[in-house]
Chain A
């Protein structure tokens, strides 16, 4: 009994510092933000009413959902292509694929967004080259619009989409593929009718991770969208710092958390958390 008690004391003592820290520095201020959404500028549900009726806020939400959906489809498809080689390629192919996945993954989001600016801006690589070979006379507008945002976000999110796909492809039994081939199915048919369906949990997991990430994305849209293609996260920033309307910024944050929470619950109904790592 004494040992049992001291065990519980030990656990409490070891776990308490982090729990208290996050309770004070994360949970408490989050409720403060929730409180803002109901009290600023005056108590009530006014900010949530604005959320439902303001055409600007609605257009930002619609744009965010549209960009997130496009980015999700493109990222997962691209990640699938490179993950197949990373997991099932020859040793040399695997090393190259791993390098191409991990190096961008570890490089900061600012550097990567800047790389796209260097490539796509009016005086960037693409426009300089295209003009040099006489393909175009005026530079194409490739950044500071939705196209730039989608390219930059897809680039950022492909490595995140790779990991759930890789874990589902690694756990796939080779003999099933051999059986399909042995029964006379072509390479294409084996891929589409056996390989892809058997990695379905990886596809769902990676699509939902990418979608959830892109909903709250801030840095890349702010740099590559150039203030013209505002997404939800940037709208929150603008409401807090440029047109001080903390209540609306807080209300948008609360809605975003609820939406993401619902999506995460959906993830865990279809895929066990362990499969995502």
Chain B
């Protein structure tokens, strides 16, 4: 029980910061209801036309479907690779573990714009060989996203492995389980929450990835953030406000559901 609670000055300052953090998220709500074709505050009547545009305009629908496809493929790929790598680290504790993990975490710490130019180099090089896998293709984007999300998946899985009791693995080993049995029947069932979280986080990171995607797509592989970007740079399309409101609502619902799950999993 903390005996030292924040005083009135702290509370006022924190409330100001909280307001600052929520303000831009709240601001998109009125804009999304404007009846005009331009970005403006609604004056008088409200309209849902920008929400309708999202469901009727094929550009938005195609981008949403493409982003889901890329997210699923890149998340599956990065989760499997991260899981194998983390199992290797945890079960065998090889030498140079720190250096190897550090190498895997590089895409997370290198400035995103440098990763972007690096992946641009990679995909344009591949484009010279293959036309359906390289610059401005959905497979190329999925691979680039896997590079960017795999460090996060690895961190999450390594963290949940670090909370696992080594003695259950030793017991399985002593009873004659093979490496495959230990991994799939002893270790993985115990870290499944971490694996699912890693897959979800990878999907979300891919779903909203823009910094790298801008460098590696031009006209074919238009993901949802890429389409939003185009709408934000030129003249601002209020459909982006409608989309933002929907994304914010989904985020709040998922976070609320997550906090309920976390509370239920806790024994007390």
Contacts and interface: CB of A to CB of B under 8 A. Distances in A.
Interface of A: 6-8, 10-15, 17-19, 21-22, 25-30, 32-33, 36, 78-79, 81-82, 84-85, 88-90, 93, 96-97, 99-104, 106-119, 121, 123-125, 128, 155, 158-159, 174, 177-178, 181, 187, 212, 215-216, 218-219, 222-223, 232-233, 236-237, 240-241, 249-250, 253, 256-257, 260, 264
B121 A32 contact: yes
B139 to A, nearest CB: 12
8 nearest CB pairs, A to B: A216-B111, A115-B24, A14-B88, A11-B92, A108-B208, A233-B113, A29-B122, A15-B88
Contacts of B210: 108-110, 219
Nearest to A222: B233
Contacts of B21: 82, 100-101, 103-104, 155, 158-159
A223 B244 contact: no
A114 B25 CA distance: 9
Contacts of B24: 112, 114-116, 118-119, 155
A255 B8 CA distance: 46
Contact of B232 (A113, A233, A241): A113
Contact of B106 (A22, A33, A112): A22
Contact of A114 (B7, B144, B232): B232
Interface string B231-255: 0110010001100100110011011
B111 A257 contact: yes
Given A115-B25, A116-B27, A123-B41, 15 more contacts: A11-B92, A17-B81, A19-B104, A32-B118, A82-B14, A104-B21, A108-B225, A114-B236, A114-B241, A118-B27, A125-B41, A158-B20, A236-B117, A241-B215, A253-B117
29 contacts: A8-B92, A10-B91, A10-B92, A14-B85, A14-B92, A15-B88, A17-B85, A18-B84, A21-B147, A26-B122, A29-B122, A32-B118, A78-B17, A89-B5, A101-B21, A106-B251, A107-B247, A110-B232, A111-B28, A112-B24, A114-B236, A114-B241, A115-B27, A118-B39, A158-B21, A216-B111, A216-B113, A250-B117, A256-B114
B121 A33 contact: yes
B255 A223 contact: no
Interface string B107-126: 10111111111111110010
Interface of B: 2-7, 10-11, 13-14, 16-18, 20-25, 27-28, 30-31, 38-41, 81-82, 84-85, 87-89, 91-92, 94, 100, 103-104, 106-107, 109-122, 125, 143-144, 146-147, 150, 154, 179, 204, 208, 210-211, 214-215, 225, 228-229, 232-233, 236, 240-241, 244, 247-248, 251-252, 254-255
B215 A240 contact: yes
B214 A260 contact: no
A100 B26 CA distance: 12
Contacts of B30: 125
A19 B27 contact: no
Nearest to A7: B92
Main secondary structure, interface of B, reads helix
Considering residues B6, B92, B104, B143, which has the most beta carbons from chain A within 10 angstroms of its beta carbon?
A: B6
A179 to B, nearest CB: 11
A7 B31 CA distance: 60
Contact of B5 (A28, A90, A123, A256): A90
Given A26-B107, A174-B2, A32 B113 contact: no
A124 B85 contact: no
Considering residues A6, A174, A218, which has the most beta carbons from chain B within 10 angstroms of its beta carbon?
A: A218
Contacts of B20: 78, 155, 158
Contacts of A26: 106-107, 115, 118-119, 122, 147
Nearest to B30: A125
Nearest to A152: B24
B48 to A, nearest CB: 17
Contacts of A99: 255
